[in-house]
Amino acid sequence: MANYHVWHHPSLDGKPAFATTALTVPTIDPTAAPPSEVKLFQSLRNDMDQLRADGANKGIVDPNLREVGVSGEGLELWALKLGKGSACKVLFTGCHHAREWISVEVPFLVAKFLIDHYTDTPSTDAEKRVKHLIDNREIWFVPLVNPDGHEFSVLSDRLWRPNRNAYFLQEQDLDAPQFGGGVRRIHVAEGLYRGVDLNRNYPTATWGQETWRGRFPTTSRDPADAKHGIWAGPSAASEVETQQIVSLMAAQSFRASITYHSFSQLLLYPAAAEKDAFVQFVGKGMSSLIDANGNPYTYESGSALYPTTGDLMEFSYQAESGRPTFTPEVRPTEAGPESSFFSGLPEAEIEPTFQENLGAALALINCAGFDAPAASVKVTWAPGASVAQVVRNGWKAFQGFSP
């Protein structure tokens, strides 16, 4: 059974990759005493190092790229650069929200799957497609964007969501613009406010505009909402973790991206891409691949879930207009017991969650090479698997994809 990762822990110093350590952690039930759950964790540092070494041995992973920057607390944002097709780049990110532990695991396991199943002499269809993707794409994995918040979620507060940066603010009145128009006046009490929601902090055109679902804020300019993890921060891209991802995107011009979250079992597309034929083609295809596993995800606009501003998906679509970018909200469903939400998702569900998302992830990597729906792609046959051949085969090329 797979275990969750921590960024690293001293008890895993010197241990081999994929070794575990037992940590005493608070339960997701805030009424229980703090030390009421013991769980096994793996070191993301050790395991990413192992993947990097394995991939480098096969000549498919950059051995020199270990991270894409550091967090506010100085923890590295571990990264992998996989593939040989530098003209066609794809970005996988996970864990903007600290408590969404499963969102670390899915991109990690996708990377592990691709590296484990790459061979220079493919014999099965699956091996040929993996080789095709890796030979023709450059895939970046940053599975833990918010290491400070994640560590705090593991050891101190299982429901912690934002990062751990803090701002000392003087008493003041703040006029917060509202998404769709208007202004709300907020009285800010003097104090130290900790925790910016990284997925409200990206420098989109709408950054800082507050959004609501009924009377509940879903993007807030009130620093008192920091604890709830919906504070957009004092300014656009104020957070060092956000800055690292923004810089990476500016340098690499990704042609497709995906950022994992939990939960609700949804596949979200950018609201601005509602009528984008190519993005919809890719998204519906990915949705069908997930659904084919028998545990369907609802395919809908990000704004249908709840309106937000300053999120990565919106920023990605703004930065690379017309390029596919999605947000899977993975397991569990809302019907599950509350103890299974967020970091309460049992370890037994890590592997099934990865499996049901694998085909869609591979299809997205594949689609990074195209600019239009398959119907308008000119198919050029060639011996062996080709980019065009994969698209001509449609989504079924990635259906039931498993080791």
Partner 1 sequence: MKAAWLGCLVVLASGRTFAAERVVFCEPQVDACVHASRLGDAPPRGWWAATDDGSIITAARTGQRVPAVLYESKAAYQEAIAGLRGKEVEAAILKRLASVRERPIAAAPGFLFGVAREDMLGVIRAAGPGDQAIVEGTLAAAVALAGGEETFKDLSPGETITRAREPLARLQVELKDGPVSAGYEREARRLTTLLARFRPGQAKGAPFASPERAYFAPDEPPPGRIDGELFVDQPWYAWRGGTVLVLRSGEAAEARWSKSKLRLMYFDRATFYHDISSLTDAQMNRRLSARLKGPPADELAALISRLAFDHAVFMHQATAVQASEPAARAEWGEVVALATDNLRQAIPPAAREPAPNLTGALARLREDVALLDVLAHASTTPSLTAPLVDRFQAAVGRLPK
Q: Note the residues at the interface with partner 1 (CB under 8 A).
A: 8-11, 22-25, 27, 29-40, 73, 155-156, 159, 161, 164, 166, 168, 189-194, 213-218, 223-226, 228-230, 264, 305-306, 334, 337-339, 341
Contacts of 90 (CB under 8 A, 6+ apart): 137, 138, 139, 140, 254, 255, 256, 257, 258, 364, 365, 368
Q: In the complex with partner 1, which residue's Cβ is closer, 280 or 303?
A: 303
- Comparison of 305 and 388: residue with beta carbon closer to partner 1: 305
| Among candidate residues 177, 4, 187, 152, the one with its CA nearest the CA of residue 75 | 152
Task: Please identify, using beta-carbon distances, which residue of 12 and 290 lies nearer to partner 1.
Answer: 12
The CB-of-231 to partner 1 minimum distance in angstroms stands at 11
- Judged by CB, which is closer to partner 1: 312, or 374? 312
Q: What is the DSSP string of 238-286?
A: -SHHHHHHHHHHHHH--SEEEEEEESSSEEEE-GGGTT-HHHHHHHHHH
Distance CA 401, CA 385 (A): 16
DSSP annotation of 105: H
Cβ at position 167, least distance to partner 1 in Å:
9
Q: Distances in Å between the alpha carbon of 124 and those of 52, 130, 176, 384? A: 24, 10, 57, 12
Give me the helices (H) in 31-101, please. 44-57
For residues 46 and 136, which CB has a smaller minimum distance to partner 1 in the complex? 46
Shortest Cβ 175–partner 1 spacing (Å): 15
Query: How far apart (Å, rounded) are the C-alpha atoms in residues 93 and 327?
Result: 10
| Shortest Å, Cβ 116 to partner 1 | 28
Tokens 């956000």: give the residue: 242
CB of residue 162 to partner 1, shortest distance in Å = 11
User: 10 Å Cβ neighbour count for 269?
Assistant: 27
Minimum Å gap between C-beta 27 and partner 1 is 6
Q: In this complex, which beta carbon is closest to partner 1, that of residue 56 or of residue 304?
A: 304
- Smallest distance, Å, CB 12 to partner 1? 10
As beta bridge partners, residue 173 has 187
Min dist CB 25 to partner 1, Å, is: 8
Please identify, using beta-carbon distances, which residue of 84 and 213 lies nearer to partner 1: 213
Output the smallest distance, CB 22 to partner 1, in A.
5
Instruction: Give the whole-angstrom CA distance, residue 57 versus residue 220.
Output: 47
CA dist., res. 268 & res. 349, Å (int): 21
Place of tokens 């998404």: 179
Give the nearest distance from C-beta 381 to partner 1 in angstroms: 47
DSSP conformation letters of 123-134: -SHHHHHHHHHH
Indicate the residue among 20 and 280 with the shorter CB distance to partner 1.
Answer: 20
Whether the Cβ atoms of residue 142 and residue 91 lie closer than 8 Å to each other: yes
Question: Which CB, 223 or 359, lies closer to partner 1?
Answer: 223
CB 268 within 8 A of CB 301: yes
Residues contacting 295, CB < 8 A, separation 6+: 265, 331, 352, 356
Q: Output the six-digit token pair for 26.
A: 């608070």
Task: Identify which of residues 55 and 223 has a Cβ nearer to partner 1 in the complex.
Answer: 223
Task: Give the nearest distance from C-beta 192 to partner 1 in angstroms.
Answer: 5
Residue 100 corresponds to which amino acid? E
- Residue (225 or 276) nearer to partner 1, CB: 225
